[in-house]
Amino acid sequence: MNIGHEHFRRALQHTPFHDRIAALSATEDWTGWNGYKVARVVDKLSTEYFAVRSGCAVMDLTPMEKYRITGNGAREYLDRLVTRNISKLRPGRVTYVIWCNDEGKVIDDGTLFQLGEYDYRLCAQHHQLDWLLMSATGFDVHIETETHDVAALAVQGPTSCSVLTAAGFDKLDQLKPFGIVDLQCKGIPVTVSRTGFTGDLGYELWVKPEDALNLWDAVFDVRGLYDIHAMGLDALEMVRIEAGFIMPGFDFNTAESTIRNGHDRSPFEVGLGWVVNLDKGHFTGRKALLAENSRPARRRLTKIVIDGNKPVREAFLYDRKNGEQVGEVKCATWSPVLKANLALADIDCVNGKLPPKLWARLDYQRELKWHTAWAECHVQSKPFYNPEHRSATPPPRF
C-alpha cells in the first residue's frame, strides 16, 4: 500500500482522477468516501441520472476498499469467510459475496474477483482489513490492502460498450456479465470487468494510478461521438435503488457498527438468502444461519412501490391507515424512468410472511407548514429496473 507521506496534512485525499472531475464540476458539491474527496453531484443530478439510463456515465470508484488475497490457501480461506459457495469461481470471473460474524449477522458485502489460480481481489464498501486478517488464522494466505494502489472507473449505461470500443478497447463486446479481461487502451494496461452498481449495462476499469488521467482522457476523447457525463454519488443512489441493490451501513446496520442488541441484520433479513449456501460446509456464521433458517422470518428488507408522486424520504409503514406500525423506509427515490416512488423498507413479518397490506405515512412540509398523507405500498420481488441490454452478449451497439 503506497500513499504520500504528507497525506495527514489533507483531511480528504484526492483520487488520481480528481483533477479531471474538479475541472468539470459546476456544483463544488463534494463529500468524503473512505478518506477520499468525491463528488455528490458534478454538474446536474438529472443530467447524470439520464446519462446512466440513456447514454454513458463515468464515475470514480477509487475510494472503494480493495484487498488482494493470494496464496495456496486463498480459496479455502475465502470459502470459510463468505456465505456463498465459490467452488465454481474461476480465473477471469467475478461473483457477489457477503460475510457474517459468528452470530450470522452481515458484516459487509462485496465483489470477489478471481484474477489467477491463487489470486483474488475483494472489493468492499467499508474498511475490512482487521476482520480479514483475524479470519485468516491457520490459512496459507497473504492479504494486502490495495485501495490506494489501484485506480478504478465505472463506465455505465446503454452506450458504455460502444464508448469504450470507440476509445480503443478491442473485443469488449464478447465479455460476458461478471467477466474479467486484461486489455490495452492506447498503450495503457487496463483490467476490465463487466460489473457495476447501476443495474444497467456497464464496466469497471482497473488501472495503475499513474495511468489514471490518460485513461480518463481516452474515454472522454470520444465525447463528440457519444454523450458522456461524469457522475456523482447522488445519481448512483437513484439508480442503485432502481436496481434493487442494497447498501450495508445505509439500508441496514452492519454487525461491526451496531451498538444495540437486535439492531443488526442477517442475510435472510436483508433479502440476501440467495447468496447463503448452507450445504457447502463450514463458514463463519453457518451454525446461527442454520438455526435461523429453520424458524419463520421475523423481518425483511423489501422492495416496495409507493403510490403517488410525493417524494418519499423517511416514512413509517403501517398495516392499514392509522394501524399498527410494521416497518420503516430505509432509502427511497423517485424514478424518472419508471415514474414511480421506489423504496427499500425494513418490514416486520407475521408468521414468516409480510403483512398483506402496507401503507406509508408521509410527513412533508410546504411553505413552513407540515402535512401528513397516506399512500398504499406494493411489495415487489424483482428489481424495479432490469433492462434486457444489461445482460446481452454482445451488447447492443449504438
Domain ranges of the chain: 7-64+148-242, 66-145, 298-380
Q: What pLDDT does residue 309 have? A: 86
Residue-wise pLDDT for 249-266, tens only, equals: 999 999 888 888 888 999
Is 298-380 the same fold as 66-145? no
Cβ atoms 395, 173 nearer than 8 A: yes
Q: What pLDDT does residue 397 have? A: 85
Strands 369-380 and 36-41: unpaired
CATH of 66-145, picked from 3.30.70.2860, 3.90.1150.10, 3.40.630.30, 3.30.70.1400, is 3.30.70.1400
Q: Please, which residues have CB within 8 angstroms of residue 78's CB and are 6 or more apart in sequence?
A: 69, 86, 112, 120, 122
What is the chain's alpha carbon radius of gyration, rounded to the nearest angstrom? 22
Q: How far apart are the first and last CA of the chain?
A: 40
Q: What pLDDT does residue 310 have? A: 80
Q: What pLDDT does residue 4 have? A: 54
All three cell numbers of 49, joined, read 441520472
Phi first, then psi: give them for residue 72, nearest 5 degrees: -60, -25
All three cell numbers of 172, joined, read 469488449
Instruction: Report the Cα 209 to chain-centroid distance in Å.
Output: 22
- With H, G, I as helix, E, B as strand and everything else as coil, classify residue 23: helix
The model's pTM is 0.94
Q: What pLDDT does residue 8 have? A: 59
**Residue segments in the chain with a per-residue pLDDT below the cut of 50:** none
Q: What pLDDT does residue 118 have? A: 96
Of how many residues is the chain composed? 398
Cβ atoms 98, 273 nearer than 8 A: no
Instruction: For residues 149 and 92, give the distance between their C-alpha atoms in angstroms, rounded to a whole number.
Output: 20
Q: What pLDDT does residue 363 have? A: 86
Strands 119-124 and 65-70: antiparallel
Cβ atoms 287, 337 nearer than 8 A: no
Q: What pLDDT does residue 120 have? A: 98
Helix ranges (DSSP H) in the chain: 18-24, 45-54, 74-81, 129-135, 160-167, 212-220, 233-242, 286-293
At the fourth CATH level, the homologous superfamily of domain 7-64+148-242 is Probable tRNA modification gtpase trme; domain 1 (3.30.1360.120)
At the fourth CATH level, the homologous superfamily of domain 298-380 is Aminomethyltransferase beta-barrel domains (2.40.30.110)
